[in-house]
């Protein structure tokens, strides 16, 4: 396919590389010029604006860090909405608020006649670069069907959850589980070390049991090594947990465990660790242990 891509950073650049390797053509734009240069070096066309990525594109992809970045890229000056025309389609891999996603979808349809699929992802940069992401999608049935061929190159699992906004609801649930899981992984490491056993052997020991899972096998070993090079920024997980909290509050759904994780990530970012990996939550437990 001919694709436009806005946001070729931590997640977008490896996906761009993978899409190019699969034979797709990609026009790339990012507010950071060095990222566009990196995408161009991989074989992408360098675009001068979000509107420019639409030129010749069948589908325009977004992979941006905040709702404000999404709104600016689509509806701001030189944005996607100024150039998009039917039958072009927008797919947003970003994690934004559910109501914002629904509003943006309606606005784009009203302004351009084009569809919007919210398609937040899970799996991190390695999965983004290998076509192994988990993608949860919300959109009109016809738009979902149009992107299925592309999703075969992007995702190991692609699930259509319902109308616009449904994918974002599923991502909020994903982040609730992930945020709490990070805190549990940190506590497991601290407890293992305090008890005098090798924390690095826990994933092997518990494999196949009820405690096993992606967090234990992929995140935990990096945390045990104190490898906090970002595969997902602490500030990003905090942003997502704030959105989960807001969504749950609007529906009066009790999420006390998530509230604890949210408090921990607020503290982590307050202490200056926002640019480290989300696994750096372990630092909070180490600080307490040294008092």
- Whether 183 shows a pLDDT value over 70: the answer reads yes
> pLDDT-derived band of residue 287, with 50, 70 and 90 as boundaries?
low
Q: What is the pLDDT of residues 17-36, one digit of tens each?
A: 999 999 999 999 999 999 99
Please choose, from the candidates 59, 3, 55, 4, the residue with its C-alpha nearest in 3D space to the C-alpha of residue 30.
4
Q: How far apart (Å, rounded) are the C-alpha atoms in residues 17 and 170?
A: 27
221 has a pLDDT exceeding 90: yes
pLDDT of residue 60: 98
CA distance 228 to 224: 10
Number of H helices, E strands in the chain: 14, 9
Residue 91 backbone phi and psi in degrees, to 5 = -125, 120
CA-to-CA distance for 86 and 64, rounded, in angstroms?
A: 23
pLDDT digits (tens, 9 = 90+) for 198-212: 999 999 999 999 999
Instruction: State the DSSP H helix or E strand holding residue 149, giving kind and residue range, or none if neither.
Output: helix 141-154
pLDDT tens across 115-134, in order? 999 999 999 899 999 999 99
Residue 27, classed as helix, strand or coil, is strand
What average pLDDT does the chain have?
95
The label of the residue with tokens 């180490």 reads 286
pLDDT class of 291 with cuts at 50, 70, 90: very low
Residue 255 reports pLDDT greater than 50: yes
Domains and CATH numbers, the chain: 2-163 (3.40.50.720), 169-289 (1.10.1040.10)
Half-sphere exposure in the Cβ direction for 234 (13 Å, CA): 26
How far apart (Å, rounded) are the C-alpha atoms in residues 288 and 186? Answer: 12
Q: Which residues contact 47 (CB under 8 A, 6 or more apart)?
A: 4, 27, 28, 29, 36, 53, 55
Q: What's the pTM value of the predicted model, to 2 decimals?
A: 0.91
Average pLDDT over residues 206-221: 96
Determine the 3-state secondary structure of 279 from DSSP. helix
CB 290 within 8 A of CB 190: no
pLDDT tens profile 39-53 = 999 999 999 999 999
The partner residues of 62 in beta bridges, in order of sequence, read 6, 92
pLDDT of 148 strictly over 80:
yes
């Amino acid at each position: 396919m001919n694709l436009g891509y806005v946001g070729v950073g931590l997640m977008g650049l490896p996906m761009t590389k993978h899409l190019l390797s699969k034979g797709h053509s990609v026009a790339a734009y990012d507010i950071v010029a060095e990222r566009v240069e990196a995408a161009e070096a991989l074989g992408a066309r360098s675009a001068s604006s979000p509107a420019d990525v639409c030129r010749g594109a069948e589908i325009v992809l977004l992979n941006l860090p905040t709702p404000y970045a999404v709104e600016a890229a689509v509806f701001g000056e030189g944005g996607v909405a100024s150039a998009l025309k039917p039958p072009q389609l927008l797919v947003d891999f970003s994690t934004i608020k559910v109501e914002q996603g629904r509003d943006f979808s309606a606005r784009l349809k009203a302004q351009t006649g084009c569809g919007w699929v919210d398609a937040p992802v899970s799996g991190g940069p390695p999965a983004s670069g290998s076509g192994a992401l988990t993608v949860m999608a919300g959109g009109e049935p016809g738009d979902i069907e149009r992107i299925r061929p592309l999703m075969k190159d992007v995702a190991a699992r692609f699930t259509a959850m319902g109308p616009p906004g449904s994918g974002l609801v599923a991502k909020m649930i994903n982040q609730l589980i992930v945020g709490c899981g990070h805190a549990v992984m940190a506590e497991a490491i601290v407890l293992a070390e305090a008890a005098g056993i090798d924390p690095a052997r826990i994933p092997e020991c518990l494999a196949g049991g009820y405690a096993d899972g992606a967090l234990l096998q992929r995140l935990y070993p990096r945390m045990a090594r104190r490898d906090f090079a970002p595969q997902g920024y602490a500030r990003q997980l905090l942003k997502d947990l704030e959105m989960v909290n807001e969504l749950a509050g609007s529906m009066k759904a009790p999420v006390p465990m998530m509230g604890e994780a949210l408090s921990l990530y607020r503290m982590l970012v307050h202490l200056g660790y926002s640019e480290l990996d989300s696994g750096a939550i372990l630092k909070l437990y180490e600080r307490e242990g040294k008092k």
